[in-house]
Amino acid sequence: METVVTCFTCFALFLSLHLINKLVFTKKKGKVKLPPSPPSLPFLGHLHYLYKPLHHSLARLSARYGPVLLLQLGTRRTLVVSSACLAEECFTTNDHAFSNRPHLPSASINTYNHTMLPIKKLQSYRDAFMQAIVEEHRIRKARAVEGRKEADEEEEESNNRGRHKTMIEALLSLQKEQPGLYTDRYIKSLLLGLLTGGTDTTSNVIEWAISLLLNNPEIFERAREEIVENVGEARLVEESDLGNFPYLHCIIQETLRMYPAGPLIPRESIKECKVGGYIIPPRTILLTNAYAIQRNPKLWVEPMKFIPERFLNDAKLQMEGKMLPFGKGRRSCPGEGLAMKEMALVRIN
């Protein structure tokens, strides 16, 4: 009897919370025009819709409920955008409003309490960046006026000896000058960001490229012919040669389209804004589904096929806004140029 009463009490409590959640959400939605949302559960919100990989489940939700969705993932409100035009609106018109990265409790463990630059709040570093630019400008002007070029001469002499200062050496030198800013923890977070951003993402894309080329031997043969025609088979390809491989560049772009290294682009709103005519409250996580956008059949011809030729000639100009492998706006990936060169050199050689 006690078990029955307990079960009934739990069910009544669950039902009451669900009704309260519905009433509160409906009341809030009546005041402002919020984006559409699928049916939710108490406490969980929309977590029961998600499965791995996350970008697949979000793409499936967007295909069913629309290109812009407002989800309640536990205690966090999340805006999911799977439309190229709405993503463009988020990264241009509302670029300042979505200038932060979401700070999640799990991320504080492996990012040294959010000290890594890629997830740091932009406002906290804006003044430091401006001060560094102004100071560098003043130093350059002073050197030009006074004719002091000791630092440049020392650097040139070091380069002539073949001795280049490593990243760690440069950071340790800065630590001696500003120990309060360049702490051990901060330096470790910078190095971790370099390792994760410069190895995992690039290597994943290279693996997909190799797989796609092996499954498309005619494309592989055309790429090989382009390499032989430009540099032959007697030497390795160097960075200065990369401009001679337009078809290889198309292969890289097509790989990034089908398998972006970051299929979901995370941001967080710092103030209220409007996306697609809907009101987005502050502290809302934005997840732009680049995977869904870059495979949208309304934007791409045969999006599930590996067709590098779609990026030849002026075709890329027509694809601006449809390709988001490195994000866009003020929080886009600063290592895009380096990543493209790395992927090209590794694939060719």
The model's pLDDT over 247-275, given as tens digits with 9 standing for 90+, comes to 999 999 999 999 999 999 999 999 999 99
Average pLDDT of the chain to the nearest whole number: 81
Q: For residue 215, what are its two tokens? A: 């499954």
Tell me the mean pLDDT in the region 298-319. Answer: 84
Position 142 scores a pLDDT of: 53
User: What is d(CA 51, CA 259) in angstroms, rounded to the nearest whole number?
Assistant: 18
User: What is d(CA 334, CA 231) in angstroms, rounded to the nearest whole number?
Assistant: 30
The model's pLDDT over 9-58, given as tens digits with 9 standing for 90+, comes to 656 666 665 555 555 555 454 567 999 999 999 888 999 999 999 999 99
Residue 101 pLDDT grade (very low, low, confident, very high; cuts 50, 70, 90)? confident
List beta partners, residue 267: 286
For Cα atoms 102, 105, 111, give the angle at the middle one, nearest 5 degrees: 75
Position 32 scores a pLDDT of: 77
109 has a pLDDT exceeding 90: no
Q: For residue 73, what are its two tokens? A: 């993932």
User: Residues 6 or more apart from 276 whose CB is under 8 A from it?
Assistant: 35, 67, 68, 83, 86, 89
Higher confidence at residue 46 or residue 191? 46
Position 183 scores a pLDDT of: 87
Residue 316 pLDDT grade (very low, low, confident, very high; cuts 50, 70, 90)? low
Q: For residue 285, what are its two tokens? A: 């996580």
333 is in an annotated binding site: yes
Higher confidence at residue 208 or residue 117? 208
Percent of the chain with pLDDT over 90: 44
Phi, psi at 209, each rounded to 5° = -65, -45
Position 136 scores a pLDDT of: 55
Question: In this structure, which topology does domain 122-348 adopt according to CATH?
Answer: Cytochrome p450 (1.10.630)
Among candidates 321, 276, 331, 328, which has minimal Cα distance to 80? 276
The model's pLDDT over 139-190, given as tens digits with 9 standing for 90+, comes to 555 555 455 455 555 555 555 555 557 888 888 888 888 888 888 888 888 8
Domain residue spans of the chain: 122-348
- The answer to whether residues 257 and 323 touch, using CB atoms and an 8 Å cutoff, is yes
325 has a pLDDT exceeding 80: yes
